Structure 1
Amino acid sequence: MTYNIPSHERALAFDRAADAYAAYRPQYPAAVFETVEEFSGRRLAGARVADVGTGTGIAARQLRERGALVVGVEPGAGMAAQFRRELPGIPLVRGDGNRLPLADGSLDLVSYAQSWHWTDPARAVPSALRVLRPGGALALWWNDPDPSVPWVTEQAARIEQWLGPGFYVSNVETPAGLCWKTRTLRWSRRVSVDVHLAKLATHSAFIVLGERRASAFLGAERKHLARHFPDGELDEPYVTSVAVALRPAQGLFLSG
């Protein structure tokens, strides 16, 4: 059965599963932050950073651990509340990536971790450039399941048969008009089948389906995974894409 769900409805759905999102979504490999430092030409330690669409603060936490001075930007009330519970020491402002509620030229880095696809790039790029200092960096990164792994490909086909195409965030395009440096990283985390299924349930398409419909798929998926992983554990493989562009000293600067 196929369910076509509008993107704006999916974006707001995360508020209904903020605690599960914090518990089950993966962090980002250290190489992401090393790449951001390399491509931006400056250390994260001491950098003024806004993590936009920060959700429960997965990336914000990792940025702070590397010494960045982080502020989170989050539109959803439920996700913002979870962020404040998880990271009471990090400032958070309510807002979205299309119109950042931050001062002009105030930041060294603006990051969109797993959130760029929820923006309108025609509005988000000018807004990000406005709040960056000249030479500051705009960084986008996102985790996708690794399609080179056979069981992942099989699972993706079952999900698309159930939900329709476009479940996974993939092929996120970097917006035109900026000079981007990009890198692809492959990594995995060892988790139980239970954790893997709980992570799947935090994706917006499953949240919007509702518990009954989502549980029907996840119950069937548990049986498929048991054939591959009879001991109940698996390596959850990811491809993490990173893209970084610098704000030019002049030009490409529009009010957001």
Structure 2
Amino acid sequence: MTASPRAHSFNAAADQYAASRPSYPPAVLDCIEDLTSRPLAGARVADIGAGTGIATALLHERGAHVIGVEPGAAMAAQFHTELPDVPLIRGDGHALPLADASHELITYAQSWQWTDTTRSVPEALRVLLPSGALAIWWNTTAFDVPWIREQHQRIAHRCGVKPASRARPDDSDAIRLAGLSGLRVARRQVRWSRGVSLDTHLANISSRSAFLVLAEDDRRAFLTEERSRLRDLFPDELVKETYVVDLLVATRP
């Protein structure tokens, strides 16, 4: 979406991203259907910043006529491997390679933060049908789980970023969406968990953008330390990850 090193860092770990990143619970798609008052089955959907196709696959399974849009070459190649029967075009949210008024739903799963909303919102509105909607969501940190909160703080410290105190510190994304284009924005949060091996959990951590731009020695040292800590917490090396999906759905009033 943007030219920043972090935005393009995922291409160096596309296979790892596909293998270790969490998906999303069915309740997220249920919420989208509820907030848009229409089923996903049969809807024309464009999934922007589709990556390896994690969200695209769920939309496809719901019966949506979905197309992926992805700027990264390696991520796009992995998408084709994962979803050979789903169409994908190269592009980003600032200049969507899609026709005017051609889609009922535009989605951004884990990718909205890489856009400049002064460009991506007007582009979404151009592509949407008059009654269409824009849905954006993230798997965010469950800060009420002590070990997850503490790990988040360690990762932030190692990556040189300020640790957050909660999943979304404010409603800035909703405010920007509504303020730019007069959209009606609704928000839902969905809590869910998954159980994964310790190796998968560590691979998930190391596929994050802030982590991918670190020096190799720094990444390796952190993962070695983290493996030791987590073995004490999870001696069977099965890790329960908990997430809170933060979903925003914007529609024209």
After TM superposition, the score normalised by the length of structure 1 is 0.91
Mark the CA change 1:166 to 1:52 in structure 2 (over 3 Å): closer, same or farther: farther
Distance 2:248 2:159 in 1: 29
- Asked if structure 2 preserves the Cα contact closer than 8 Å seen for 1:49 and 1:71, the reply is yes
**Which of the residues 49, 67, 80 maps onto 2:76?**
80
Q: Which position in structure 1 is the counterpart of 2:15? A: 19
Greater mean alpha carbon deviation, residues 48-57 or residues 191-200:
191-200
**Which of the residues 78, 96, 110 maps onto 1:114?**
110
Secondary structure at the aligned position of 1:153 is classed as: helix
Q: Which position in structure 2 is the counterpart of 1:53? A: 49
Distance 2:18 2:113 in 1: 20
Over aligned residues, Cα RMSD in angstroms?
1.7
Q: Which position in structure 1 is the counterpart of 2:206? A: 201
Distance 1:196 1:213 in 2: 18
Unaligned segments of structure 2, at least 5 residues? none
- Asked if structure 2 preserves the Cα contact closer than 8 Å seen for 1:129 and 1:247, the reply is no
Unaligned segments of structure 1, at least 5 residues? 1-5, 249-256
Secondary structure at the aligned position of 1:117 is classed as: helix
Deviations 1:190-231 (A, max 9, x none): 111111101001111222114322111011011111121112
Distance 2:152 2:208 in 1: 13
Measured after TM superposition, the shift of residue 88 of structure 1 is: 1.2
- Asked if structure 2 preserves the Cα contact closer than 8 Å seen for 1:53 and 1:113, the reply is yes
- Asked if structure 2 preserves the Cα contact closer than 8 Å seen for 1:146 and 1:238, the reply is yes
- Asked if structure 1 preserves the Cα contact closer than 8 Å seen for 2:194 and 2:240, the reply is yes
Measured after TM superposition, the shift of residue 105 of structure 1 is: 0.3
Question: Per chain length, whose mean CA-contact separation is higher, i.e. which structure has more relative contact order (CA < 8 Å, sep 6+)?
Answer: 1
- Does residue 62 (structure 1) correspond to residue 50 (structure 2)? The answer is no
State the aligned residue count: 243
Amino acid at match of 2:220: S
- Asked if structure 2 preserves the Cα contact closer than 8 Å seen for 1:167 and 1:205, the reply is no
Distance 1:44 1:241 in 2: 19
**Which of the residues 150, 154, 175 maps onto 1:154?**
150
After TM superposition, the score normalised by the length of structure 2 is 0.92
